[in-house]
Homo-oligomer: A and B are copies of this chain.
Amino acid sequence: MDRKTRNRYETRARVLKALAHPSRLMMVDELARQERCVCELTEMVGADMSTVSKHLSILRNAGLVDMEKRGAQVYYSLRVTCVTGFFHCLEEVMRTAAEEQLELVAIR
């Protein structure tokens, strides 16, 4: 396992970690529909604005979103559109996992 290969997995993991939080997923989903300022997202997820701001900076560091200041507000938008398609894949994962659970319950 050479360093270059290991590096690739670390980079992938960094992007995944950025996505792997319910609030951040919710925001990404919303930003896929339209750009939003921090205050709108804050209301949506129902947490402290400072918390939401930190979530957004995590998404930004991962290269997933863009930000643009406009007056007093900061508007965020989704940079990586293929994220939406990948959610469909995720739903598939979740569905088969759920079926597995059902199976296990049904056996006895």
Q: Is the CB of A22 within 8 A of B1?
A: no
Q: Does A15 have its Cβ within 8 Å of any Cβ on chain B?
A: yes
Binding site secondary structure of chain A: helix
What B residues does A89 contact at CB under 8 A?
80, 82-83, 85-86
Q: Does A94 have its Cβ within 8 Å of any Cβ on chain B?
A: yes
The smallest C-beta distance from A29 to any residue of chain B, in angstroms, reads 8
Kindly state the separation between the CA atoms of A97 and B13 in the bound complex, as whole angstroms: 14
The smallest C-beta distance from A81 to any residue of chain B, in angstroms, reads 9
Which residue of B has the minimal Cβ distance to A80?
B93
Q: Does A32 have its Cβ within 8 Å of any Cβ on chain B?
A: no
The smallest C-beta distance from A35 to any residue of chain B, in angstroms, reads 17
Given A1-B46, A45-B1, A86-B89, A94 and B15 contact (CB-CB distance below 8 Å):
yes
Given A82-B89, A83-B89, A92-B80, A13 and B1 contact (CB-CB distance below 8 Å):
no
Interface residues of A (CB under 8 A from B): 1, 5-6, 9-13, 15-17, 19-26, 29, 44-46, 62-64, 79-80, 82-83, 85-87, 89-90, 92-94, 96-98, 100
